[in-house]
Amino acid sequence: MSQLIEDRTIYRGDGEHVVRLEPCGKRVRTYLGGVPVADSTRVQLMFETGHLPVYYFPVEDVRLDHLQPTDHHTHCPYKGDASYYSARAGGKIAENAAWHYRAPLPGAPRELTGLIAFYWGKMDRWLEEDDEVWVHPRDPYHRVDVLRSSRHVQVKVGGEIIADSRRPRLLFETGLPTRYYLPKVDARLDLLEDSDTTSRCPYKGVASYYSARVGQEIIKDVAWYYPLPIPECPKIENMVCFFNERVEAVIVDGEVQPKPTTPWS
């Protein structure tokens, strides 16, 4: 069944799997080889059970001269058969980087027939308005809250307390375990070594990492920090956060916190 609710197209396939398109309102651009292959103020943001959000561009706002049809096709039981295109721009080629549902299944969001989506990682750069965004579109329903706290947080590795703070900042992020960001002066920086690892978060920015050396043990990428978080998340600037999953223990107000099971375990 397809229905329109406050300009949101919702398709419920089997009562459990939901496909939803929402107008975004932002100007969104994606680049390959320095060329804007798609540029639109009319993008639709797709939310689908089990998937990250995806931008869908109106066909009219895509540089079709930079797309070449391929023989690749996929089938989605909720949306239909997708045809693929390779993107060619600025001397670069991204194979099967874009897809289009020419004939969506009955009941699927009807706008799909006029929209094209791109694999985020196959393109070089993405902008929301004039801000660069990494990893995937920002989900307007995904919250990141950072709260100052006076809770006593300790981090133990190899029997050593390598961080001890009564002035942490607690980061609460939708669907993820609580993270404890600590002032660096409250951490044993003599036991932490700079790592070459970096990662990007669409909600926080670019993270740098530390490994811990305690005795003969080295714990790779045990902690991270954001030297220059994005403006929406300033409270964690240059504070260090340890993976609950990788240290011996994170102790909060004297209680050992359970180790969460996450992609970083």
Confidence of residue 64 (pLDDT cuts 50, 70, 90): very high
pLDDT at 2 over 90: no
Specify whether the CB–CB gap between 19 and 46 falls below 8 A: yes
The residues, ordered by sequence, that sit 6+ positions from 41 with a Cβ below 8 Å of its Cβ are 25, 26, 27, 28
Identify the pLDDT of residue 1. 24
With a cut of 50, say whether residue 236 has pLDDT above it.
Answer: yes
Q: What is the DSSP annotation of 90-127?
A: TTEEEEEEEEE-SSPPTTS-GGGGGEEEE-GGGSSEEE
Residue 13 has pLDDT above 60, yes or no: no
Residue 54 · residue 137 · CB < 8 Å: yes
The whole-number average pLDDT for the span 231-254 is 95
Domain end among 67, 97, 132: 132
Query: Alpha-carbon distance 231 to 249, whole Å?
Result: 31
Number of structural domains in the chain: 2
> Residue 209 maps to which CATH number?
2.170.150.40
- The 3-class SS string of 112-168 reads HHHEEEECHHHCCEEEECCEECCCCCCCCCCCEEEEECCCCEEEEECCEEEEEECCC
| Residue 101 belongs to domain spanning | 2-132
CA quadruple 54, 60, 64, 66: dihedral positive or negative? negative
SS3 189: helix
Q: Which residue has the higher pLDDT, 103 or 4?
A: 103
Q: Which amino acid is at 209?
A: Y
What pLDDT does residue 107 have? 80
| 54-78: average pLDDT | 97
State the Cα–Cα distance between residues 138 and 201, nearest whole angstrom: 10
61 and 172 fall within a common domain = no
Both 164 and 118 in one domain: the answer is no
Residue 14's pLDDT band (boundaries 50, 70, 90)? low
Write the pLDDT tens digit of every residue in 84-133: 999 999 999 999 999 999 999 988 888 999 999 999 999 999 999 999 99
Whether pLDDT at 5 is above 80: no
Cβ neighbours for 60, distance < 8 A, ≥ 6 positions apart: none
Q: Above 70 in pLDDT, residue 15?
A: no
- Domain-terminating residue out of 132, 160, 191: 132
Q: Are residues 179 and 68 in the same domain?
A: no
* Torsion angles phi and psi, residue 115, rounded to 5: -125, 150
Between 8-17, 147-156, 170-179, the lowest mean confidence (pLDDT) is in: 8-17
